[in-house]
Chain A
Amino acid sequence: MKFISRFCSVLLIGAASLLASPAYADEKEAENCLREKIWSGYEGGWAVRTATTITLEEEAHRVFLVTLYEGNEYKFMVCGDKDSNDLDIVLHNATGEELARDSDQSREPLIEFKAKETQTYYIAVYASSISEEAEGTGIAFAVTYK
């Protein structure tokens, strides 16, 4: 009986690993989504400073440092891949004060901000919820300005 139980456990582990088809974060998908937004922004006078991709696990975050010019308008845009359920962006100034937040239930959050002072700001991109099957989610982030 004990032997059968052990045998089944081993089979279960082996079978689970065979069945599991881990969902890989798709930074390319996120990047394609973001590029469309970046290029359509040019019609409205926006231009891109930087765009980059990252992979985040659920409830993980990444902080981007950005220097913003007083008087310029900025858009911080994020696109998640299909495994992103909900992504958030939070903007802080150099002293840590929270200035803006997009915490809607969305995989494509956006913040628009006009800087009142030239300084370094902190933008946190947070993976609030990702699909249950995924180990991580591909995320594209861009800073645009006008």
Chain B
Amino acid sequence: MKRYGYLALVLLLGCGDSDPAEKKDPATKQEKKVFKLDINNINPSNVKEIALVPSPAEMQKALNRAGLQSKLGDLALSEKSISMNTDNKDQLAIRCGVVLAELVLTVKTAPKPKMLAHLESLKQGFTKLGAGEKFLKTIDTMTSNIKTDAKSRDDLLRDMDQLAGIMVPELEKELGKWVVPLVQAGSWLKGANLVAGAINEEQKYDSATRLLKQPQVVDYFLKYVQREGTKKAPDEIVQKLEFTLLNLKKIASKETLSQADVKAIQSDTTEVLLLL
């Protein structure tokens, strides 16, 4: 290939007496253009929603900053295990999201067997979804690290964040556009359920708007739950999720959220989670 390059160079030099292709002269380069964004005229193809959804651990920070004392990890710890015993891929993605949320929230406090069971279940779910070897190997490595106490809980938290925040978004390329939003939906649903529970428990309803009003997040999930053109069969859980998201959309359209809204969010999200 290099030989052809030299040949080409000789030919080029031999033929031309004209100027070489025009080059940008740094000295004459125009002043730096100041970029302005008009949010009312954004080309949809330039928009990415991958970072739209807050993580459950971020919800915990927001909860504390709003003056609540509850630890979402403690509330999530006693929950039942999520089975991956289904072939419906939408459901599998949602279930993986719920398990990921529980893992991230409980990584500092959960007993080892609980964490190992979660990772096993996560591996089953992502295997059925078709995740590649790199992703599944990461789960294996985490499992081994927990079994052998090779890492501190702080390091494990970092690993969980890497899995949920960096590796899951990368799955968009190998599993298709709809998988990641549904995994995020599962995690967000779990987080919102726990946050609503904490607000109810501590009766801090004045913080509900800042913690739970996220209309664009709900719209984002609905877009993928209601997507058309797929060969998916009607599914009770996915239909229930859609119904719940439509309710949450109505609630999120209000200026401020009330005690009744928080109770509705908790009961609606609980209903979906109990079906998993």
Contacts and interface: CB of A to CB of B under 8 A. Distances in A.
Contacts of B53: 67
A51 B58 contact: no
A11 B15 CA distance: 8
B46 A50 contact: no
Q: Which of B15, B16, B170, B211 has the most CB atoms of chain A within a 10 A radius of its CB?
A: B15
B46 A63 contact: yes
A132 B23 CA distance: 8
Q: Which of A16, A71, A105, A126 has the most CB atoms of chain B within a 10 A radius of its CB?
A: A71
B34 interface: yes
Contacts of A66: 51-52
B24 A48 contact: no
B25 to A, nearest CB: 10
A33 interface: no
A91 to B, nearest CB: 10
B51 A128 contact: no
A63 B47 contact: yes
B37 A51 contact: no
B48 A54 contact: yes
A51 B169 contact: yes
A141 B166 CA distance: 11
A12 B41 CA distance: 42
A23 interface: no
* Contact-residue size bin, chain B (C-beta under 8 Å from the other chain): 35 or more
A64 to B, nearest CB: 5
Q: Which of A12, A69, A94, A132 has the most CB atoms of chain B within a 10 A radius of its CB?
A: A69
B168 to A, nearest CB: 9
A137 B21 CA distance: 22
Contacts, number: 158
B52 A15 contact: no
A39 B165 contact: no
Label chain B's interface by main secondary structure.
Answer: helix
Given A14-B8, A50-B166, A8 B55 contact: no
* Contact-residue size bin, chain A (C-beta under 8 Å from the other chain): 35 or more
A59 interface: yes
Contacts of A51: 165-166, 169
A1 interface: no
Contact of B34 (A18, A103, A145): A103
A92 B39 CA distance: 8
A96 B50 CA distance: 20
Interface in A10-40: 11-12, 14-16, 18-19, 35, 39
Contacts of A132: 23-24
Nearest to B48: A64
A65 B51 contact: yes
Interface string B35-47: 1011110100011
B52 A120 contact: yes
Contacts of A90: 35, 37
B156 interface: no
A122 B24 contact: no
A112 interface: no
Contact of A50 (B11, B21, B50): B50
Contacts of B165: 48-51
17 contacts: A14-B8, A15-B9, A15-B12, A18-B7, A19-B8, A19-B9, A62-B46, A63-B37, A64-B50, A65-B47, A70-B210, A72-B62, A95-B39, A96-B37, A96-B40, A122-B42, A128-B33
Given A67-B214, A123-B51, 8 more contacts: A47-B55, A49-B51, A52-B51, A52-B166, A59-B33, A67-B216, A122-B42, A141-B51
